[in-house]
Structure 1
Amino acid sequence: MNDLNHSRSAGGDFEMNGFSDEELAAAAAAGDPEAFDQLISRTAPILLRFVRRMVDDAQVAEDIAQETLLAVWRGLPDFAFRSRVRTWILGIAHRKVVDHYRRHRDYPTDGQDFESLASAEPLPSDQAERAELVVALRAELTQLPPTSRAVWWLREVEGLSLAEISGVLGISNGSVRGHLQRSRAFLTTRLAPWRPGAGGPAAPEEVGISGERRRE
């Protein structure tokens, strides 16, 4: 916070890009709206992507994202920095998603059987282009139990660590690992007919939502 004030008093254009999320959060908690705006500009993209993957209705997803940002603003003074700011924000978003489905009484259970999911109508066996693989991936993600879907997305697309995902979803590292393994196995089976190029099936954990192979 003192560093931020010093940067302002030094004159010239005030740039916040050099400060960490945690420093911005501390300043925002003290009532600095500019620091909050900068923090949100950094975290909003991952927040929106995550909520839109968890909620099919685009307008509902936007509303949940807005509710999350409001909760972040209100909760910053009590944020104890026991986790990274990004993890804390995604955790709020996850709880908002769960609350939404509970209100509508249509939140699927995590006990849903993977074998029954895999026995759905077979996928087309013809060769598919990369764009079709991405469409298929998005469709199959909706078939996963919600926690498994969240784990896969946060790990394979957003690149969070297992510990960070554990903090977001409020489950153990072992549970995160189990959900990730089952999700990868399910998606690998379901996406097997999609063989981009001559290199064989693209493993779902290697394919981001844009269709590009994921880099480790």
Structure 2
Amino acid sequence: MSATFPLQRSHPDQLIVGLVSVSDRASSGAYQDQGIPALSDWLGQALTQAPLIVSRLIPDEREGIAATLRELVDEARCDLVLTTGGTGPSRRDVTPEATLDVATREMPGFGEQMRQVSLKFVPTAILSRQVAVLRELPDHAALIINLPGQPKAIRETLEGLRGDDGVVQVPGIFAAVPYCLDLIGGPYVETHETVVRAFRPKSARRGA
């Protein structure tokens, strides 16, 4: 698999995204994974330019998860890696630990905001242990974010919550992702504001 890496962008600002679904049962074929299709569909709707996507469906094994994250950042040269699943309190839920294993720095605001969004729906959101980190190499860096496992929760945490008038009441985490990528040397990513409005300071906007 790694022989095809690194991937070639069709445009300098094309985003390379790694999608990782962590599930013992889905990876064994016991049921169909829903996380990767949900993420792929959402990215297709949210981004103004189609991303390059590399996906992995793997079991809940800490070393295997960490190895997959390293592969996606170090070899595939992903700018952004989104994981789904394995973030609860059960003993098999080790995605956050594996993510921290490959991190150079933590980005705690992402996890804090995801729990804030989810708490609007269920009190059990406090059981979520999602983390976000940077993995930094001498010539490349990536943002890695743990997301929930259910497609509805994935969309809510990425987009945020809107009122009946369509105004965002609780911001989703993806609003901050493009500017984070700017700051770590990634591509300039733009979004469809009807899905999620990417926030940048005026000085960081192209054409401003």
Fold shared, TM-score > 0.5 on shorter chain: no
- Which protein, 1 or 2, shows the higher relative CO under an 8 Å CA cutoff with sep ≥ 6? 2
The structure with more radius of gyration = 1
Q: TM-score, normalised by structure 2?
A: 0.25
Q: TM-score, normalised by structure 1?
A: 0.25
